[in-house]
Structure 1
């Protein structure tokens, strides 16, 4: 299938989802080998991409969304416009627009409460000398998606630009004066947002019906800066669009990628269908050969074709020939704890000292602990650390301190390379004294961390 089909599919999803659904429900008769190949999409060079348009319509100082201006009754006035457009994709184009005309409104209409508006002005008239904007135009949907060339499309546009205009105000006494004393146009940023319908009359001419709202970046359009809302205006128009290009080329914007894609898919399906019978015969022969090579009656992972030891019991590990592998004899290593090991542990207990009322190990205890860590690594021994305190102080605090000291010893041994999973650290507080807490010597003996290796 041609690689350009993927490119066309992007626009197809945007312009029409029904086309794909329709393609899935076509009768099987379309898969005949006599299905004629459709013309392929070969890029923009085969289509007209440039066009110019002229239009005329009505301008109003209001917009369908966003409210009204600072006068109570707006009046429609004549407007005119033109544009140049370049079609980049079936569904997307860039368009440079120009619009001019007049905008008018007055205060002849009462407010919603029946009261006349409170305003020093009777009416305004603004000469919209020009608007220049660059817009992105999106072909939202096509109407006749059953055909390769459409004739009706719905589009939307959004962009940005500049408007130049001159407002004139009329006071209640009938005197008219310019909004600005100097005779220069006010220039403001505009954001045009629009939509429309387009009809293809021929390969060169389209009928364009549209409506565009212009949002200005200021409150000067009616010459009456009043309130926090910015002014806006709209343009409803009808016009003609003229496609530019060589005779015989079609307009890209009317090309229906969904229908083109559908026809190309059907053509490829027809080609595949013509060779289906022979492919099925080849597949049947290959399937028989594969079954012969892959059949494994005893389920040992080696096919019967290569299995030299058929009938192997389930879950038996076998070699490449299907014969059982020898089972290695498991040898358990017996760990013997020697007197030297006990001496190393005892020495670590005797030399273990902490800062007063803290779980901080004094550096003088490190050498003995280093020898314990080396012992644990060499012989893979297990170690239980039991922390104890005397009865001086709070019971809960003593329990926590005993646990923290046991954990501190474990942390140090682990930092020296001991396996943390083989070391258990617990705290018993003052619950297991080994001497009387009534004497200083007894309390000293009770403040301890015991080591048990196994």
Structure 2
């Protein structure tokens, strides 16, 4: 009867590779190229039993020569997949009693099985590096587990000396290999490998003798592994040590920065001490003693840049006299323009000159308001009134008045001071008013 373990082999394999896939995702922090592919050859002893217990079909299991090779892909420093192949012979007989002392009365005296092939895909997990703080180790321990297929031809010899063959057909059975080993790095390209694998067979015909339990065989071997490519071997790379080195460098950098910061603080304290003498202000007026020409200024006094009391000039009061108003009034009376235009007639210049001189002398401000009668359209009169006021402003500025103190506005016919029904009333409405302030 076959084990249920083999019936769930696909599920077991899926769990194995999914579980180890997480390890394969671990990034390698070094930028140095690594060797990740390798091949290995080995040779050793094949024995048709397992030290882990279970029934043995023969009381005296012999050790025979076996050999193998493999190809391996290293995904992280901890995890790899390895494709193994093993060949050799398995032998045993019943010439001795079982370890329990029970005599062997089997009708089969011995067996000789040719292991034509044993191929398996194994997940290999590196257990740890011997020195956690060393980037590259020379010794590494590992465990492995996988699944595969074994093909073999058993021959048994009966108690009367008759040999019975399985025939030309090779028997193929599923196997689950579980192993452990130690690897020694000789160079960046060569490793010495010691290993031991127990292979559980999904059948009871490995030795040609059926006793109702699955057979098993183990393979202890020594061999050489050759790393392909260039650079260091990823399998012997120790990210723990690399992380430790990076942390140590970070600490050294932090210590150096702290030293620089302490030195800068001392320098700043020295500068503050020197600046306190330079910036000393005994009277509290905001001017340092070294620059203060009036060192005993009373508290609250507004001072200038030299520390002396600031003299505030008295505001100038603009006083418009009757004489000033008379000058403006005469200018209004004498102001004439060409008919329907904004051109000032020359007879108005003399009185405008006196207004300009008044503005310059007393720094007055002046508002000019242009007005018209109702002859013509509203738009035309508005434009004409604005142009005449601007014309008066331009003339006064040409005589030295400050343009920023003169405001010129046109109101058109919107603000009459007399009737527009008579010629005399319309004459009064055609005007430019002067307002001093």
With the shorter chain as reference, the TM-score category is: 0.5 to 0.7
The SS at the match of 1:271 is helix
User: TM-score normalised to the size of structure 2?
Assistant: 0.52
Mapping of residues 168-183 of structure 1, within 5 Å: 168-178=155-165, 180=166, 182-183=167-168
CA distance in 2, matches of 1:217, 1:143: 37
Residue 80 of structure 1 deviates from its aligned partner by 0.2
Residue 250 (structure 2) pairs with residue 261 (structure 1): no
Residue 224 (structure 2) pairs with residue 250 (structure 1): no
Residue 103 of structure 1, aligned match among 81, 87, 90: 90
Q: Determine the structure 2 residue equivalent to 1:372.
A: none
Residue 149 (structure 2) pairs with residue 162 (structure 1): yes
The answer to whether the 8 Å contact 1:188/1:217 transfers is: yes
Q: Determine the structure 2 residue equivalent to 1:41.
A: 30
Q: Determine the structure 2 residue equivalent to 1:116.
A: 103
Over 4 Å off, 4+ runs? 277-282
Change (3 A) 1:128 1:40: closer
Residue 64 of structure 2, aligned match among 77, 99, 104: 77
CA distance in 2, matches of 1:111, 1:63: 15
Bigger Rg over Cα:
2
The SS at the match of 2:111 is strand
Residue 218 (structure 2) pairs with residue 271 (structure 1): no
The CA RMSD measured in Å over matched residues stands at: 2.3
Q: For this pair of structures, how many residues does the alignment match?
A: 241
1:276-317, CA deviations, whole angstroms, 9 ceiling, x for partnerless residues?
Answer: 2566788xx9xxxxxxxxxxxxxxxxxxxxxxxxxxxxxxxx
Mapping of residues 323-342 of structure 1, within 5 Å: none
1:54-74, CA deviations, whole angstroms, 9 ceiling, x for partnerless residues?
Answer: 000000001121335201110
User: TM-score normalised to the size of structure 1?
Assistant: 0.51
CA distance in 2, matches of 1:237, 1:154: 15
CA distance in 2, matches of 1:278, 1:256: 33
CA distance in 2, matches of 1:90, 1:267: 23
CA distance in 1, matches of 2:180, 2:92: 25
CA distance in 1, matches of 2:172, 2:29: 48
Unaligned runs of 5+ in 1: 1-9, 15-38, 286-454
Q: Determine the structure 1 residue equivalent to 2:47.
A: 60
Q: Determine the structure 2 residue equivalent to 1:226.
A: 211
CA distance in 1, matches of 2:259, 2:238: 34
Residue 109 of structure 1 deviates from its aligned partner by 1.1
The answer to whether the 8 Å contact 2:29/2:239 transfers is: no
CA distance in 1, matches of 2:203, 2:257: 69
Mapping of residues 26-37 of structure 1, within 5 Å: none
Residue 180 (structure 2) pairs with residue 190 (structure 1): no
CA distance in 1, matches of 2:211, 2:108: 12
The SS at the match of 1:273 is helix
1:189-247, CA deviations, whole angstroms, 9 ceiling, x for partnerless residues?
Answer: 100000011000011110000000000111111111112x210000000000001003x
The SS at the match of 1:224 is coil
The SS at the match of 1:275 is helix
The answer to whether the 8 Å contact 1:68/1:232 transfers is: no
CA distance in 2, matches of 1:82, 1:267: 43
Residue 118 of structure 1 deviates from its aligned partner by 2.7
Q: Determine the structure 2 residue equivalent to 1:240.
A: 224
The answer to whether the 8 Å contact 1:69/1:222 transfers is: no
Change (3 A) 1:139 1:115: closer
Change (3 A) 1:64 1:112: closer
Residue 256 of structure 1 deviates from its aligned partner by 1.1
Residue 125 of structure 1 deviates from its aligned partner by 0.7
The SS at the match of 1:79 is strand
Residue 127 of structure 1 deviates from its aligned partner by 0.4
Change (3 A) 1:40 1:140: closer
Unaligned runs of 5+ in 2: 1-21, 269-437
